[in-house]
Amino acid sequence: MQNLTINPQRLWDSLMETARIGGTAKGGICRLTLTDLDKGVRDWFRGQCEALGCTVTVDQVGNMFAFKPGKRSDVAPIAMGSHLDTQPTGGKFDGILGVLGGLEVMRTLHDLSYDTNAPLMLVNWTNEEGSRFAPAMLGSGVYAGVFDRAFADSREDRQGVRFADAIESIGYRGEAAPGSVKFGAMFELHIEQGPILEAEQKVVGVVTGVQGMRWYEVECTGREAHTGSTPMNLRANALLGAARVVERVNQIALEHAPSAVGTVGLVEVKPNSRNVIPGHVFFTVDFRHPDDAVLDVMERKLMEAIPAIAKEIGLEAVAKKVWDSPAVRFDAECVAAVRAGTEKAGFPTRDMVSGAGHDAAYIARVAPTTMIFVPCEGGLSHNEAESTTLEECSSGAQVLLNAVLEYDQRFA
């Protein structure tokens, strides 16, 4: 196996170039899935892959697969990939580094006319963030059979736009059936989105799995009334009920510390007028823990608390679980390839479990999979100030290249 080296500056330049597609005044990116901006970065990605001689296939939920032949046509490709969509106030690296790091691997091999034994594939997964269409990781979930296409098509954003209409509007409804574009393994490069690597001065995280995650949507309905003329004891304040549930979510997470986390991240209040008692509140709950049995207990506590709080205030409350992603353990041989690739690069490393959800969590159900983490400043992500360095990005891409080549040796 040759000692191949990626081009750090080229990778960084591509990260900065794509950051202008949906770039914000604060230096981040707002590039929600299946918008015109998403189409713009998809078109750019397709063009870059085709310039390397790759064949790009798009499936019926918009997942993009760039195929590079290998010496052998009788084995499934080794895939790399992540996502190009962002949060409304997202950064330049979350997901994007995984796609562009994989692109840099492809470019390096192309420059040196190096043919792997197995074919290679680079993937851009649709709607990983879930910030426009819930749940998250929708494209990889459909690919892995967790959801069907009809479910994806039926998802609506908060403005009532259906996934099906959005994907048609940008021209990225492909013809390939979900799951029909096969690969034999996948490696996903990503920023850590946490503070551990930076705090321990480690360059690379070898990711052994992903913690379990569950999302819920809750609606509290009370009665709108005038704030000045309605006595406190005669109110049915939907926002008060929501506030008490928010506090209970926090308590439930603390009861299962330090591994559990619980968050209410989206709240919509109606009529949202300063002199009207809120009559309706919609909000979301996000629970995470490495042990699914603990998540069961947390969920039970939440579902007991919501009706009890609603009854006390005279509200109606409806809660539903909209996403359940069980804890995942990654493939031992893929993990070993990352360890070998890190050792070859000479970087200090540590094993870790991902606290955030990633497409790799669903792909692990249908193919050997693992992840590679690099640090991000302060552990900050899902924020316009999200930051990592040229050196950290290039270190991750180099380990990605090394790991793919290490895994490829099984097909020699």
Q: Given the structure tokens 């969590």, which residue do they identify? A: 361
256 is in an annotated binding site: no
358 is in an annotated binding site: no
Q: Measured over all CA atoms, what is the biggest interatomic distance in the chain, rounded to whole angstroms?
A: 80
Give backbone dihedrals phi and psi of 190, rounded to 5 degrees, phi first: -160, 150
Q: Given the structure tokens 């998540």, which residue do they identify? A: 295
Query: In the numeric block, which tokens belong to residue 286?
Result: 């996000």
Within 13 A of 280's CA, how many CA atoms are on the CB side?
5
Q: Given the structure tokens 């809120």, which residue do they identify? A: 278
Query: In the numeric block, which tokens belong to residue 222?
Result: 């009370």
Tell me the β-bridge partners of 123. 65, 81
Whether the CB-CB separation of 98 and 81 falls below 8 Å is answered with yes
83 is in an annotated binding site: yes
Query: In the numeric block, which tokens belong to residue 311?
Result: 């009854």
CB neighbour list of residue 210: distance below 8 Å, 6 or more residues apart: 325, 327, 328, 330, 353, 354, 356, 357, 358, 360, 361, 371
Whether the CB-CB separation of 140 and 125 falls below 8 Å is answered with yes
Residue 2: its pLDDT value, please?
A: 60
What DSSP assignment string belongs to 24-72?
-TTS-B---TTSHHHHHHHHHHHHHHHHTT-EEEEBTT--EEEEE--S-
What's the predicted TM-score (pTM) here? 0.85
Whether the CB-CB separation of 185 and 301 falls below 8 Å is answered with no
95 Rama class: left (phi>0) / alpha (psi -120 to 50) / beta? left
- Measuring CA to CA, which residue among 172, 189, 206 is closest to residue 104? 189
Tell me the pLDDT of the chain (412 aa) as tens digits: 567 999 999 999 999 999 999 999 999 999 999 999 999 999 999 999 999 999 999 999 999 999 999 999 999 999 999 999 999 999 999 999 999 999 999 999 999 999 999 999 999 999 999 999 999 999 999 999 999 999 999 999 999 999 999 999 999 999 999 999 999 999 999 999 999 999 999 999 999 999 999 999 999 999 999 999 999 999 999 999 999 999 999 999 999 999 999 999 999 999 999 999 999 999 999 999 999 999 999 999 999 999 999 999 999 999 999 989 899 999 999 999 999 999 999 999 999 999 888 999 999 999 999 999 999 999 999 999 999 999 999 999 999 999 999 999 999 9
* C-alpha span between 119 and 59 (Å, rounded): 19
- Measuring CA to CA, which residue among 332, 325, 394, 334 is closest to residue 358? 325
110 is in an annotated binding site: no
Residue 356: its pLDDT value, please?
A: 85
Amino acid letter, 4: L
Domains of the chain (ranges; CATH) run: 8-211+327-411 (3.40.630.10), 212-325 (3.30.70.360)
Q: Given the structure tokens 């009559």, which residue do they identify? A: 279
Query: In the numeric block, which tokens belong to residue 313?
Result: 């205030």
Continuous segment of H or E residues that includes residue 179? none
What DSSP character marks residue 409?
G
Residue 403: its pLDDT value, please?
A: 98
CB neighbour list of residue 329: distance below 8 Å, 6 or more residues apart: 208, 209, 364
Length of the chain in residues, anyone? 412
For residue 307, is the peptide bond before it cis, meaning its omega torsion is within 30 degrees of 0?
Answer: no
Residue 357: its pLDDT value, please?
A: 84
94 is in an annotated binding site: yes
At CA 45, angle to CA 44 and CA 47, rounded to 5?
65
